[in-house]
């Protein structure tokens, strides 16, 4: 019953532009997903697709995309620190009646710290799309 009250009416997919860009494996065992490599000062571009379930509408207070730099303490998963964040609004508050594709660009991003994955700590950059909603 609660799943119908709080279930999602949409799904989100994020695509990073990779044309002409070097890639590397995301995991240490060099299997699975490959991700693009970005250097300090490069643009980060891509698109996000917000797909509505058939016959559904989405009342929202805005849609935004963020580029986040985060440090995770691997021995304490609840202890994360966002040291970097750039946010862009993609959609003003309103109602979505159909699926929509958004393009985004973060220009000349200052990524002073390299991605790192060690025994106790992980430093990473990622893109996050947020749909702001009221639940009241």
In a domain, 136, yes or no: no
Q: Where are the alpha helices (DSSP H) in 1-103?
A: 2-6
CA distance 116 to 124: 7
What pTM was computed for the model?
A: 0.83
Query: 34, 64, 66, 39: which is closest to 50 by C-alpha?
Result: 64
Task: Examine residue 32 and state whether it is found in any structural domain, yes or no.
Answer: yes
- pLDDT tens digits, 56-77: 999 999 999 999 999 999 888 7
- Tens-digit pLDDT profile for residues 7-19: 678 899 999 998 8
45 domain residue, yes or no: yes
CATH number where 79 lies: 2.60.40.640
Q: Judge contact between 86 and 118, C-beta under 8 A.
A: no
Q: What is the spatial distance between Cα 86 and Cα 46, in angstroms, rounded to a whole number? A: 15
Domain of 100, in residue numbers? 2-131
Residue 92 counted as domain residue: yes
Quote the number of domains for the chain: 1
């Amino acid at each position: 019953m609660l799943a119908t009250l709080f279930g999602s009416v949409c799904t989100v997919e994020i695509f990073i532009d990779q044309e002409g860009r070097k890639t590397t494996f995301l995991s240490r065992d060099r299997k699975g997903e490959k991700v693009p490599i970005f250097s300090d000062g490069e643009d980060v571009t891509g698109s996000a697709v917000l797909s509505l379930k058939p016959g559904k509408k989405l009342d929202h207070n805005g849609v935004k995309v963020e580029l986040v730099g985060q440090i995770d303490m691997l021995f304490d998963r609840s202890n994360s620190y966002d040291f970097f964040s750039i946010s862009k609004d993609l959609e003003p508050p309103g109602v979505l009646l159909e699926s929509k594709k958004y393009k985004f660009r973060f220009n000349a991003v200052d990524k002073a710290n390299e991605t790192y994955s060690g025994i106790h700590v992980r430093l990473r950059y990622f893109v996050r799309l947020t749909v702001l909603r009221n639940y009241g």
